[in-house]
Amino acid sequence: MKIAVLAVQGAFEEQEKVFRELGADTIQLRQAKDLDGEFDALVLPGGESTVQGKLLRELDMYDKVCKLIRDGMPVFATCAGLILLAERIAGDEAVHIGTLPVTVKRNAYGRQLGSFHYAEGEFGDICDFPMEFIRAPYVESVSDGVEIMATVDGRIVGVRYENQLAMAFHPELGGDHRIHQMFLDSILKS
Ligand code: GLN
């Protein structure tokens, strides 16, 4: 299985490390021609969504990435990746990829609370998952068909919609790989 990780900015190496530990091959997507290679899934890492969105366009990767996702490529998105996917960003005109029918709120917990650790996360059937939040967004609302995978203090922090799995926290940082494994299993099943 080959996992392509968007590697223009942010925490892409951490994602590669986890997927490799789970036995997958990874490649980095740094420029448009990297998207022509063969791969089975796409990872949108944490980082800074405004920078990533800008680079996607400047590097001519934007249209190809949007098409891949619309055509059904499995996507695993964390934090800034969730913001890139969102169809709406609260209080912001910007939309990046826009394939995930949710509204996200960026830097949503205020300056102090944007970064915190939540030990008892539940993500679908996975319990006691350590969730690391770093200047995190949350999902303010979801459209029909979006499955809510995780909430923390009543706020939505994980969703699944068709081929897209997205979360506001950083599952690659807590040392627990069950969400990555769940994603790999879902690709094998489909
Ligand atoms: N605050 C960042 C943004 O708005 C996301 C932070 C992260 O990816 N850890 O893009």
> What are the pLDDT digits (tens) for 65-112?
999 999 999 999 999 999 999 999 999 999 999 999 999 999 877 666
Q: Name which of 47, 46, 3, 45 is nearest 22 in CA terms.
A: 3
* CA atoms of 96 and 136, how far apart (whole Å): 17
Which atom of ligand 1 approaches the CA of 133 most closely? 9
Pocket of ligand 1 (CB under 6 A): 46-49, 79-80, 83, 106-107, 134-135
Enter the tokens of residue 186: 């879902």
- 79 part of the active site: yes
**What does the pLDDT average to over 33-41?**
96
Using a cut of 0.85, tell me whether the model's pTM lies above it: yes
Tell me: the pLDDT tens digits for 117-166? 998 999 999 999 999 999 999 999 999 999 999 999 999 999 999 999 99
To the query of whether residue 180 is one of the catalytic residues in this protein, the response is: no
CA of 30 from ligand 1 middle (Å) equals 19
Are 164 and 75 a contacting pair, CB within 8 Å?
yes
Q: At 21, list the tokens.
A: 């530990």
Closest Cα to atom 5, ligand 1: which residue?
A: 80
User: What spacing in Å lies between the alpha carbon of 178 and ligand 1's midpoint?
Assistant: 22
What's the sign of the alpha-carbon dihedral 22, 5, 178, 66?
negative
Q: Residue 108 has what pLDDT?
A: 76
175 CA → ligand 1 middle, Å: 20
177 is known as an active-site residue: no
Start-to-end C-alpha separation, the chain: 13
